[in-house]
């Protein structure tokens, strides 16, 4: 297991998912945590659409960065460290008009000061609509 402590999905949602920030505005909801992955969903609706009525690429990036940033935070001693996004990229592979998308976040590299995450986002039919990579910097508490 890669996590610093054991967390339940409910604890993660209470701590990171249901506060007033962009993740809560887009209704990102953590749904599963495994030994080396974390999952969350996001609705595809008027909050996440672009003008053509499909999922906005920026909303997919918000889901990816939320997943990776929370995953990094779960991997460190939060009394000593904060985790901040350093670089994010995304390949948007197919359009999604409605429903839920599910992001699955897995580590590529977990170093002392840098974490790299792969986030795959799927539509309700299980087809990948976005592939993202997030680099997170682990910094001493209070340096943000």
Residue 71: which domain range?
9-140
CA distance 83 to 136: 6
Q: Is residue 33 part of a domain?
A: yes
pLDDT in tens, 16-65: 766 678 888 899 999 999 999 999 999 999 999 999 999 999 999 999 99
Residue 144 is predicted with a pLDDT of 74
Q: Is residue 125 part of a domain?
A: yes
Residue 137 is predicted with a pLDDT of 97
pLDDT in tens, 85-104: 999 999 999 999 999 999 99
Q: Is residue 44 part of a domain?
A: yes
Q: Is residue 4 part of a domain?
A: no
Q: What is the DSSP letter of 48?
A: T
Q: Is residue 128 part of a domain?
A: yes
Number of domains the chain is built from: 1
pTM, two decimal places = 0.95
Average pLDDT over residues 118-131: 98
Residues labelled catalytic: 65
Domain at 73, CATH number: 3.10.129.10
């Amino acid at each position: 297991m890669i996590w610093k402590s054991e967390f339940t999905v409910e604890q993660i949602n209470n701590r990171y998912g249901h506060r007033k920030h962009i993740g809560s505005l887009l209704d990102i909801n953590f749904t599963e945590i495994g030994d080396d992955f974390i999952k969350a969903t996001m609705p595809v609706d008027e909050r996440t659409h672009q003008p053509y009525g499909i999922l906005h690429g920026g909303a997919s990036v918000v889901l990816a960065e939320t997943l990776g940033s929370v995953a990094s935070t779960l991997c460190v001693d939060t009394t000593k460290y904060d985790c901040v996004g350093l670089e994010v990229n995304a390949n948007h592979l197919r359009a999604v008009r409605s429903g839920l998308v599910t992001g699955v976040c897995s580590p590529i590299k977990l170093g002392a000061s840098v974490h790299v995450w792969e986030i795959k986002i799927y539509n309700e039919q299980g087809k990948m609509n976005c592939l993202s990579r997030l680099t997170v910097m682990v910094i001493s508490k209070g340096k943000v």
